Chain A
Amino acid sequence: MSRLFAALAAVALIAIPAAPALSQSRPNAQAFARLPDWSGAWTRDTGGFYESTPAQAKDPAPAPTSPRLIPPFTPKFKAIFEDNLRRIAADRYPDPISTCGTPAGWPRLLATPDAYEFVIRPEQSWILSENGPNIARIYTDGRKHPPADELWETYTGSSVGRWEGDTLVFNTVGLKGVGSTILGRQGVVMSDKLMVDTKIRLIEPDRLLITMVLTDPEALTKPWPIAFTFKRLPKDTTVWDYACAENNRNPITDAGQTLTLDPSGKVMDLKTEGQVR
């Protein structure tokens, strides 16, 4: 008994000094009660970024929208895009995620075919993609982006924002740029000056609308608005492990070719170029 008391006392001594700080930083019950219900598993119900317009995404709000198959590229990035399209057609496009070690990054992580979870709290939210897996962390506790000398370019960048009613609003910067900031396997790449303004909200009980405005003074001549929706999967859906390297029978060569292996690991393709990365 005395040992139990001593243990409890020790815990109390450790806990007490930290208590005031914790209580100040924790959101209260009312803040949690204001959050919308984004529980469960989700999947995209529109295609890649190319097919995404607010009209197709069933946005009930007035939104300017015309099909925007091609972003408003600057000449430099239009040339990169065209070169990427030729590489894709020739199977010589070295997509970084095909190596099974690189995250899809922002905003590409929203364009996978598997399931998603949106884990929301008043002060921080997480978008978890089953495929990858990828994680986007969105801070809504009032912080700003790190100062320039503390912000280095990453695949997913820095996301900070706020809740506006039932809408999660955030801004993402600090992305890696050409070669890494890719919107899908259709050749659209952005620069490390990319800034993404994102809004997420429920437009139907089981449908989330995500709207984005991509601003990139190097890659785009004007901001590029896109939108797409996610639908909620059945309530009993389980989100599973996705280990890309578990049985990867499609290694990539340094020339950008995707190979196909037979069950024994032997290359099946008749012609190959480059070495496996």
Chain B
Amino acid sequence: MKSALPLALVLAAACAPPSLAHHSTAMFDFTKSMTLTGTIKELQWTNPHAWVQVIADGKEYSLECGSPNTMSRQGWKRNTVKPGDPVTVMMRPMKDGTPAGMLVSILLKDGRTLGAGVTPGPPPPIAAAPK
């Protein structure tokens, strides 16, 4: 009888996506990156996760971040974005297509790109400029 673990399961475990610490990330599609250009509706600077609400393509997207604690160590302040600010965001979208996702990078109107406190290190760059 074969005793090895199914390879796909082992690889899934070894290559697990970055953890949001407090809950599963299974709802996000880590094979896709979605870039949106729009405006900030709201920043929820709260635990266990901060949320950036962005209006783009006529919809409101809920973008989940790390905690304010991890974000503040990556350059965020509670007023880094304000309602109406133009931004471009790169995210891992929801698998079911609902307008939400895990924020990976955000390009601010001052030209800075920040991560979202989910993974350590510098944020992946975003090519497009905010409109």
Q: Are A114 and B70 in contact (CB under 8 A)?
A: yes
**Residues from 49 to 83 in B contacting A, C-beta threshold 8 Å:** 49, 51, 53, 60, 62, 64, 66-70, 72-73
What is the CA–CA distance of A213 and B47 in the complex, to the nearest angstrom? 33
**Interface membership of B126, Cβ < 8 A:** no
Contact B22 A262 (CB under 8 A): no
Query: Is A248's CB under 8 angstroms from B48's CB?
Result: yes
In the bound complex, residues from chain A placing their C-beta under 8 Å from that of B19 are 48, 113, 184-185
B62 interface neighbour in A90, A242, A262, Cβ under 8 Å: A262
A226 to chain B, nearest CB (A): 15
CB pair A260–B98 under 8 Å, yes or no, is yes
Q: Which of A97, A186, A270 is B22 in contact with, Cβ under 8 Å?
A: A97
In this complex, how many residues of chain A approach chain B with their Cβ under 8 Å: the count is 53
Q: Which residue in chain A gives the minimum CB-CB distance to B46?
A: A247
Flag if B69 contacts A242 (CB, 8 Å).
yes
The size bracket of the interface on B is 35 or more
Whether, in the assembled complex, A240 has its beta carbon less than 8 Å from a beta carbon of chain B, the answer is yes
Question: What does DSSP make chain A's interface, helix, strand, loop or mixed?
Answer: loop
Of B9, B14, B21, B64, which is within 8 A of A82 by CB?
Answer: B9
Interface centre among B22, B46, B53, B68, by most chain A C-beta atoms within 10 angstroms, is: B22
B11 → A minimal CB distance (Å): 10
Interface, chain A (partner B; CB < 8 A): 43, 45, 48, 50, 69-70, 75, 78, 81-82, 85-86, 88-91, 93, 95, 97-98, 100, 112-115, 130-131, 184-187, 233, 237, 239-244, 246-250, 252, 258, 260, 262-263, 268-271
Interface residues of B (CB under 8 A from A): 3, 5-6, 9-10, 12-14, 16, 19, 21-24, 26-27, 42, 44, 46-49, 51, 53, 60, 62, 64, 66-70, 72-73, 94, 96-100, 118, 120
Nearest 10 interchain pairs by C-beta: A91-B26, A247-B46, A85-B9, A98-B23, A250-B23, A270-B96, A258-B24, A244-B48, A240-B69, A268-B98
